[in-house]
Structure 1
Amino acid sequence: MDTTDKKETFRDIIQSGKPVLVDFFAEWCGPCKTMAPVLKQVQEKMKDELRILKMDVDKNPAVAQAFGIQGVPTFILFKNGEIVWRQSGAMPQAQLESFLRQNM
């Protein structure tokens, strides 16, 4: 899973040709912690098809505000810079993969 590289902006990442799942999370969030291994497994299975980016809402409040993040975890799937799917709350790996495949 990626954290933003200083040379690569958030906008650059979400506008790339490869779909990008952004995990808006917080260090203090229990459900966010339970999603960490799920996201790792999804990344391993879909690594050539999907990029996963973790975005700490406490360290990046402007980005969280720009996308109207009200609760964490919130997942937003971007395709060519457009939001194609959005979901808040923890979910099982199979459900997350299913939503991603339906929307990629």
Structure 2
Amino acid sequence: MPSGSGRRGGGDLPTGGQPRLLEFTSGSCAACARMAPIVNQVERRCLAVADGSLVHVSIDEPEGEALAERYEVRALPTFVGIDAEGAEVLRMVGVQTQEKLASAIGEVRGRACPPI
């Protein structure tokens, strides 16, 4: 995993004053397991410079569960884009393509990912 991404339980607001794309997952989620290689590929492509734009949030941890409640996550995986103040700006639910995920990261951080 690139050093710019973070795995976290997630109770505190993970903005650090910057926009973020939160990836809500669980160890028991089959769709999350299918998404893992796609997320890893997009991280390598889009986040070559570690910037923390993508934050992995496990709902298996109490803090992650609390953050999922805050953002009303009802299905997994869910990707929630938040602005610097923590307000939701986009949401994607379920398995996503590399292109959609890269586009979401680009939208959240304000600069596009390199093309495939």
TM-score, scaled relative to structure 1: 0.79
Contact (CA 8 Å) 1:15, 1:79: kept in 2 or not?
no
Contact 2:54-2:105 within 8 A present in 1 as well? no
Aligned residue identity for 1:72 = L
Q: Determine if contact 2:82/2:88 at 8 Å carries over to the other structure.
A: yes
Residue 98, structure 1, aligned to residue 103, structure 2 = yes
SS in 2 for 1:69: coil
| Structure 1 position 74 matched with structure 2 position 75 | no
- Among 90, 96, 113, the alignment partner of 1:85 is 90
Residue of structure 2 in register with 1:28 after alignment: 28
Percent same amino acid at aligned positions? 23
TM-superposed deviation, 1:46:
1.8
After superposition, give the CA deviation of every residue in 1:43-63 in whole Å (9 maximum; x if it has no partner).
112213652111111213211
Unpaired runs of 5+ residues, structure 1, are none
Name the structure 1 match of 2:113: none
The yes-or-no answer on 1:53 pairing with 2:55 is yes
CA RMSD of aligned residues (A): 2.3
Any idea what SS the aligned residue of 1:10 has?
A: coil
Q: Which runs of 5+ in 2 are unaligned?
A: 111-116
1:90 partner SS? coil
Q: Is the 8 A contact 2:8 2:58 kept in 1?
A: no
